[in-house]
Structure 1
Amino acid sequence: MTPEELRTIELNRLRAKARQKQREHVESSSERNANQKRPLEVTPATSNSPTRPEASKPLKRDSRLGSYFEYDLSKMVNSKGGFLVEDGKEVDEDMRAKERQRERERAMQNVEPPIYLDPTLNAKCRECQNVDIDYTFRKVFGCLVCNTCKEKYPEKYSLLTKTECKEDYLLTDAELRDRELLPHLLKANPHKSTFANMMLFLRLQVEDFAWKKWGSPEALDAEWERRVEEKKKKKSKKFEESLRDLRRRTREGIWQRRKNQEHKHVFGTAHRTEDGHDRQVCHECGFTVRTDQAEHSKISTSLEVEQIDNNLFRSVSLFVPMRSKGVFGGQVISQAIVSATQCVDPAFGLHCYFLLSASPAVPIIYYVERLREGRSYSTRGVKAVQSGKAIFMLLCSFHAPEPWQPSYQWPMPDAPKLEDCELEEDLFRRRAMQSGIDKRLKEIYLTYATERANGPIAVRRVSWNVKESNDTVASTYWMQARTGRSEPYEVPYQKCILAYMSDLNFDNFRCEDGLLYVVSCPLAGDGRGVVHGRLYSRSGTFVAVTCQEGVVRADRRGPEPQAKL
């Protein structure tokens, strides 16, 4: 399209737009709506009609803003005094004059002095007489030296830090801060911008002052060595004091812990003394105890316990059988049953299990727990504690007698009377007196004989290791308690005596009258053996059944392990 055509189109568009706007204005002001009413816009603002358009009211000031002042920022000027002032409030002219004077002085300080045409008026280097001297050295240190000589003689004109002056020349902070005595150059710290400025000193001036202070370089070296040696001594002394304090606190801590805790004996291996007895000695306190304590001849002494508190008892004596590592287990069980019996009604019976050996060095404490209180049964738990460790647990069920219930028992085997059987101590003595017997075996027989003769239980052997019909090996004994009294003990105590011999008991009997003990071994192997026992009274009454599993090892060794190489 040509430019003339474009111009014609644009004029036509503008004319059409003007006609459309005029038509809309006429329609809005002249034509009525469906209710024969004209729109509000046609009411002029000068009309008195309530529908006339009104000007918008100004916004009210918020009361929460408080009092404030309005400033015309367009009329503000910067006076460089930190405040904005209006026109007509100019700063003091004297202040401006003083500031201009300070700027001129600063500019004059930073300007190097001029070089005069007359050579006699110019300052010269003290080394090479050159007029091109370092202005900073001249201004700060008052030293006339050129840049060439500074680099040529670093032993004179190099700069030293404050730390180097204190360590190498033994100068103090007061001397280094005195500008008249030792002028210094301030320089920004290169390590961190927030650190204090570095103080740099001229080596020549520092050495001159140090020689005057100490007298000579040799005297300075001697003083430096003396201080280094003194510093080493102080450091060594401090270390020794801290070490002594550590040792003292360690000793006090160990002593306090030992004082607070209960002492527990730590016994070594048993060794035989000159009197022929085996003894053990505590490593810490030197307490000595016999490990081969003799068995008491009275059963009441072996079963005796001391009541410490309610439901709390302690053993009085402990017996270690010959060639045994610990206390006789039957004594531990019997003392536990005595402790439990003292916590129940004597009308009840007794039932107990299990036994465990203990060390004779320390008394055994028996804790009795009342588990159940019934009309027919009462249950007690007994825990034997030695050196803070539980070495024996017993569960006793006390049963009141019920004679009206039906009963049954195995028949008593045929056995000779108690008086017709030989005591074990007599048997061992007779064997020890045989001709040609080994000396060591003879000593063992005599020891067993003495132990049995002094023990509270008299043992008479009826048969020894006899095979029964079911191929089990059985041994039969008569066992009689040595009470040392004519009248018998009461029934509960008789059961405690039987516990000294066995493990489980019931019914009424008299241990001092004698009991037939039939022992059989149905199984043995892998270093263990199971033993069953039956006890009968003289009248043939089945008194007790025993069952025990123990470690029984023969003197045989297994195959040697093969070497790995």
Structure 2
Amino acid sequence: MAATIQELLDILALEPLEHNLFRGRSPQVGWQRVFGGLVIAQALVAAYRTVDGRPPHSLHAYFLLPGDPSVPIIYNVDRIRDGRSFTTRRVIAIQHGRAIFSLSASFQTVEGGLEHQIAMPDVPSPEEVPPLDALTTRLPEAAEGLAAHFSSKRPIEIRPIDIERYFSREQRPPLFNVWLRAREALPDDPMIHQCALAYASDMTLLDASLLPHGRSLIESSIAGASLDHALWFHRPFRADEWLLYSQDSPFSGGGRGFARGSLFTRDGTLVASVAQEGLIRIRVDRSR
């Protein structure tokens, strides 16, 4: 198993400390703050550990403070409700005695019902999209953070369909599509795949709100951070198979960007939906 995937599985293997209390860690890769998708995924694991036999159908989260990657994160689960069809959990992530993140998750007994879905966009297949490793020689100085941002050291492989947006300041419509998957095969446990998707869902989404402005989060002059995050699971899927993450941004303003995402399997099945608001500020050079 590749080291990056083992790292992801280690991240999701929370240590139980006490009833409703778990401890998670961050990979020591030199990040200045904890990756938001990591906290979402670990909080979902903590909630999952207190629920029997029901998969999650939605989660809603707020990022309260930047996470410190040098120390563990404590997850405190509040068992809000155990109903006949639905189970509700609230999770607080704590570091240095303060809440850095909160999540509410709802789990539901599997049942049938009326069904419909939107169509998947018509885009090139992942095999037709070059891997980011093949593009590093094209990186100008302005995009030097691209290789690090989508580093092969990450457990999720990402193939942006419109890679040219990273090489241009051209203003584009707020639409962005990427293929993503875990870099290696994952265990069959559906919890692992849902939590891996929760991890990946925080990657690239906020960047869609910068397309109309010809900017990107990989620029050192842009300060970006997730503020909140919502994720809905619709159908079963595997996170180690290609998923199309189709993103759009209806609005940005007030120093915030709002983006939405739909995740499809290769055959066009909609398996999850995402919404996020994040901070987007232009850094001011005060040395001048």
Q: 1:514 aligns with which of 242, 249, 252?
A: 242
What CA distance in whole angstroms lies between the structure 2 residues aligned with 1:320 and 1:353? 27
Instruction: Give the drift of 1:478.
Output: 0.3
**What is the TM-score with the length of structure 1 in the denominator?**
0.41
Contact preservation (8 Å) 2:93, 2:102: yes
Contact preservation (8 Å) 1:336, 1:382: yes
Counterpart position of 1:345: 52
Q: 1:395 aligns with which of 93, 104, 118?
A: 104
- Asked if 1:368 corresponds to 2:84, the answer is no
Tell which has more relative contact order, 1 or 2 (C-alpha 8 A, sep 6+): 2
Contact preservation (8 Å) 2:56, 2:105: no
Q: Cα deviation per residue 1:30-80 (whole Å; 9 max; x = unaligned)?
A: xxxxxxxxxxxxxxxxxxxxxxxxxxxxxxxxxxxxxxxxxxxxxxxxxxx
Q: 2:254 aligns with which of 513, 526, 539?
A: 526
Q: Cα distance 1:306–1:410, how it changes in 2: closer, same or farther (>3 A)?
A: same
Instruction: Give the drift of 1:524.
Output: 1.5
What CA distance in whole angstroms lies between the structure 1 residues aligned with 2:36 and 2:111? 31
Matches within 5 A, 1:303-382: 303-318=12-27, 325-356=32-63, 357-382=66-91
- Between the aligned residues of both structures, percent identity stands at 36
What CA distance in whole angstroms lies between the structure 2 residues aligned with 1:550 and 1:300? 27
What residue ranges of structure 1 are gaps of 5+ in the alignment? 1-294, 466-470, 561-565
What CA distance in whole angstroms lies between the structure 2 residues aligned with 1:363 and 1:555? 30
Instruction: Give the drift of 1:482.
Output: 2.5
Matches within 5 A, 1:69-218: none
Contact preservation (8 Å) 1:532, 1:546: yes
Structure 1 vs Structure 2 CA RMSD: 2.7
Aligned length: 247
- Asked if 1:554 corresponds to 2:288, the answer is no
Q: Cα distance 1:484–1:536, how it changes in 2: closer, same or farther (>3 A)?
A: closer
Amino acid at match of 1:426: A
Matches within 5 A, 1:200-239: none
Instruction: Give the drift of 1:368.
Output: 0.9
Counterpart position of 1:479: 180
Amino acid at match of 1:457: I
SS of equivalent residue, structure 1 residue 408: coil
Counterpart position of 2:152: 453
Instruction: Give the drift of 1:377.
Output: 0.3
| Larger Cα-atom Rg | 1
Counterpart position of 1:10: none
Q: Cα deviation per residue 1:167-202 (whole Å; 9 max; x = unaligned)?
A: xxxxxxxxxxxxxxxxxxxxxxxxxxxxxxxxxxxx
Q: Cα distance 1:321–1:354, how it changes in 2: closer, same or farther (>3 A)?
A: farther
**What is the TM-score with the length of structure 2 in the denominator?**
0.77
Q: Cα deviation per residue 1:303-358 (whole Å; 9 max; x = unaligned)?
A: 23111112110013346786xx5211110010000111111113333310124241
Q: Cα deviation per residue 1:407-455 (whole Å; 9 max; x = unaligned)?
A: 111111111222221222332x1324xxxx54xx57534434xx52111
Amino acid at match of 1:453: S
Q: Cα deviation per residue 1:376-395 (whole Å; 9 max; x = unaligned)?
A: 10011111110100111111
Could you say which structure has the higher helix fraction?
Answer: 1
What CA distance in whole angstroms lies between the structure 1 residues aligned with 2:148 and 2:17? 35
Contact preservation (8 Å) 1:519, 1:531: yes
